[in-house]
Amino acid sequence: MPDKLILSSDSHVFEPPDLWTQRIDNAFKSRAPRMKRVGEVDHLIIEDGQMIAGIGLISNAGARYEAPETISDHARFEDVHEGGYEPEQHLKDMVIDGVYGEVLYPSQGLFYYKVADPLLFSAICRAYNDWLAEFCSADPDRLKAIAMINVDHVADAVSELERTAKMGFVGGMIAEYPLEERRYDQPDYEPLWAAAAALNMSISLHTATRRVQSNSALGERSVHDASRRSTKVFLPAISMCDMIFSGVFERHPSLRLAIVEFELSWVPYVLTNMDYTYRERNEEALYRFKGDTMPSDFVAQNVYLSFQEDDMGIRMRDRIGVDRMMWGSDYPHSESTFPRSREVLDEILQDVPEAERAKIVCHNTAELYGFDLDRISSPPVVG
C-alpha cells in the first residue's frame, strides 16, 4: 500500500494491574477489580473473588503470525506489549505498524461491563477514564480517547460524558447490549442521546461489553462459547435496531453511533430486513418516520462500522456504504493485525479504488473523531 495516512478506529490500551486498586474512589477500594496470578497465569478478578477472564486474548499482539497455536486465555502481565500501558512505547509501536493515529478502547475494562453493582461499575469507569486521559496526553493529536460509560443510571452517564468531553475525549462506549429490561428503545435514554449529540461525542457499541453479570467461572467451557462468538454481531445489531425503530436518530439527527469490532458482512442482511419490516410489518414497526425515510437511511446517515479484515464485507461495500466503513487494528490484542497492518490492508483492499480506500483507512475515522490530518501527516517522533 502507498505510504499514505492510516488511522485505526479500534485500538486498545492495556490497563496497568493496579489501575483500579490505586485509582478507584476510596469508597470502593476494597471492591476494586484487580489482576491476580493463579498458578502461572494472570486472571481478572471482580469483587467476590470470581475470575471473569484471562488476559491472553487481549494481550498477545503478533501471536497469530508467530504462533497461533499458543493463543488462549492464559497469559501473564509480563507477556503484554509494553505499548499497551506505556504511551511512549505505544507511539513507537504505531511507527512499526505504519499507523498515524488511533482511537483507544480499554482491554480489561471491556470485561468489567459484567460488574452487577451500578455504583461500583460507574466508579470503575471514572478511574479508567482518568488514567486514559493521562495516557492520551502524550500525543493528543494521534491518540483519541473513548470513555467507558455506565448507562444503568442515565443522569450519571450524561455527567460522565460531559466530564470526559471536557478532558478531550471523542466518544463514549456504552454496553453493546444493556440489561434486557433497559434496552435502548426506552425514553429514559433521551438525555444521553441529546447530550452525546450536543457534545459531538459519538456513542460506541464495542464487542465484549454486554451488560450482564457473568455466572460462570473461568475455565468452564461449553459449545455455547463458540456459538456466542460466532453470532456475537446480533447483540449490537439489535441495539442499533432498537434505536432506529424507536426514532432515536430522527429526534437526534446529529447523533453518531459506532459499531466496533463486529466486521461488516452482516450489514446488508440487516439493512434489507429492517426495510422489509418497516415496509410490510406495520404492526411491528410501530414508530413511523417522517416522509419516505426508511430504517436503512439512518444507518447511512448516523452509523459508522469499524472492522478489521472482513474481505467479504469489502466486496459488499456498495451496499454497506463506503462513507461509513472504518478500519481498525485491534492492537495489542492477539487477533490484532499488528505488526502487519499495512500488509493486511494491501491484501483485503487490493481491488478497491484509491479514493474509496482512503475513506476506509483514514478519512472516515478522521471525520468521526476529529483527527487533524495535517498535524499527523508525519510519523510520531518518540525517544
The pLDDT tens digits for 268-288 are: 999 999 999 999 999 999 999
Query: Is residue 340 classed as helix, strand or coil in its secondary structure?
Result: coil
Model confidence at 21: pLDDT above 60: yes
Name the residue type at position 230. S
Contact 75, 67 (CB under 8 A): no
Specify if 183 maps to a domain.
Answer: yes
Q: Residue 232 falls within a domain, yes or no?
A: yes
Separation CA 306–CA 104 (nearest Å):
13
Assess whether pLDDT exceeds 60 at residue 73: yes
Question: Is residue 69 included in any domain, yes or no?
Answer: no
Answer whether residue 216 shows pLDDT above 60.
no
Q: What is the rounded average pLDDT of the residues 138-146? A: 98
34 assigned to some structural domain: no
CATH (domain of 168):
3.20.20.140
Written as nine digits, the cell of 48 is 467476590
- Provide the number of structural domains found in the chain: 1
How confident is residue 219, by pLDDT bands cut at 50, 70 and 90? Answer: very low
* 164 occurs within a structural domain: yes
The residue assigned the cell 474512589 is: 25
Task: Look up the domain containing 181 and give its range.
Answer: 87-369
Distance CA(305)–CA(259), nearest Å, equals: 5
- What pTM did the predictor assign? 0.94
Any domain includes 93: yes
Look at the block and give the residue holding cell 486474548: 57
Helix (H, G, I), strand (E, B) or coil at 53: strand
Q: Is residue 21 part of a domain?
A: no
In a domain, 156, yes or no: yes
